[in-house]
A and B are shown apart, each in its own frame.
Chain A
């Protein structure tokens, strides 16, 4: 966590009071929450009343997708990109499985981009029946950035609410809620140097999704539950700092990432870089290593002190070929032989040196072990 976030959070942990209480202690906590709301709104080009605090990205995605679908019934169509995080994909799938929704996965190209024409064509097959649209700002696996404002504008041509999961984008890319044209935007604390278990849905005024969890109606009557004031204070401090430092971080990380990509290519000549080579998250480098099992490579690198990730893991932790890579047209074997290296605040050129020192031997060994 960022020092600013730790400080804001621990300061608040020492205080008593429920932000919903009317007594003095409650009012003091309420003030902290409202200042946090203003900080986040100010940092992300939103109005304070548009910030709905949640327990994180997954809850915000659920609220946006399920809530807007229910609010817009009897419309049945949900258009969602095929490369979404499971926090968005699974609620949509659930709507299809049990709520009568017709979920249509928007195709992506080989770089993972949703083309505006793809969205337009999908809408125009039956525009009056589209309940909502959801396309992530930037992909968590391959780092590809989507043309959000163009996609949102197309949705608005038809008066359809547009949600974007910007969990990966905030603090890494310039993000403006009003500038993007999105009607709902998800962010989460732990991706910006804030606490885990705290996030928000930015929700345009006048848009009222049906609640996913019911109760005291603390957040605009669409989200219930006692507000976690310390986490919210930490979230706001982190968002404020991350957005303030976004440009500098972007400059530093993208240079380091380009060096990493260049040197990995030299060390393993047949490696394949996945995602958009230009328009990608500054700290993301995602590769396929032909003939390797991603899991084996991860284990070998982990043993050498290099921490990286394979695609997504199911609940049992069994590596499945990434749905993102498959949607981009990769073969299952290539998808299984993929690894993501993520650079962040603490990454240094020495980290890249370390990776390049151990990578060739690990790849060689993983290739010998082969694809099981």
Chain B
């Protein structure tokens, strides 16, 4: 499908014009150099960011306490403690978000692939696109306006989960939709031919076939929402203590901890905690990405 496999510099048969004019050759050379440069420009910040985080955070995460303790009761310049409370908060908020977003997202994807025709399907596709462009701060404000101001609930980890749903939903819909479309029609036809109802065909044949791809998409979406900062800033307070209750009270998460230490801790210990938490977040996101890759490798999606 791509031309990348053709070696452009070695034509199969020598062309009639062996000699390229200097101008054309120089232009070609400049273009090649610029294109390579562009790629390097992209790789430099990636490496730079990762190395910075690693260099500044490694000594923090190398400590077992870091993974097992909270920062509860510790002052800004107390050595020790960990980010257990924030890891717990990040995971639980994201998992709750997934519990809501995945079924809805999957249903929307099924609708678009299996049922959607006409205006509503077009509108849905369009709105999913728009939703994927909604900034996270707007999602957070919407939940604030709906959940906290209008419905009168307090700020909590659950409010964060609700805002994350808005951000995760389009990603789940898109990846599931793509995977469902890859399921060959022959499978569906065979199932119908056996007199199996359409819904059962979808649930028992189509979804299992596409499942590895769908799960991969979910893992990646989870990794993405876990790093979101805007919703936690608006929708929940920070606490250094462990809070197991998603539905009430202040609850830490890794981005919130980083921001809280950034704005309120002047000591070098605070800087250590920020970069330690940053590395922790990168590690967790990398694990989710790795899991996603493994899932997709385990069984490649069925193709036509």
State whether these chains interact.
no
Residues of A within 8 A of B (CB): none
B residues with a Cβ closer than 8 A to A are: none
